Amino acid sequence: MAYRIAGVYDFDGPFISPHSLKEDSGVYVILDLQSDGYHLLDSGGAENVREQVMTHGRKACWEENRRGTIHYAAYYGDEAARKRMERIVRENYDIPCGGK
């Protein structure tokens, strides 16, 4: 399964549990599954995607802004790929948690 970002890039997921994310370098997206599909709540990069998502300081923001159920997806890559993908996500989506 894949979640497509900016119509081009496939992220692994979405998963209902952050435990399904890899302990690898990459970019995560926090998604809100509503009746009309997925909506982005947050995005960021980390050397360990699973750990970052599971210990994230913006979880309260995710809960405050969700209308459905939270799901998780990730795009894995080295630091250069991670920074490029973070920029692509933030330039293409209005994300309520984390800002631009």
What are the pLDDT tens digits along the chain (100 aa)? 788 987 889 999 999 999 999 999 999 999 999 999 999 999 999 999 999 999 999 999 999 999 999 999 999 999 999 999 999 998 999 999 976 5
The C-alpha atoms of residue 27 and residue 43 are separated, in whole angstroms, by: 7
pTM of the model: 0.94
pLDDT value at residue 7: 82
Long-range contacts of 76-84 (CB under 8 A, 24+ apart): 76/12, 76/22, 76/24, 76/25, 76/26, 76/49, 77/25, 77/26, 77/27, 78/25, 79/25, 81/26, 82/25, 82/26, 82/27, 82/45, 82/46, 83/45
pLDDT value at residue 19: 98
Quote the radius of gyration of the chain (alpha carbons, Å). Answer: 12
pLDDT value at residue 99: 62
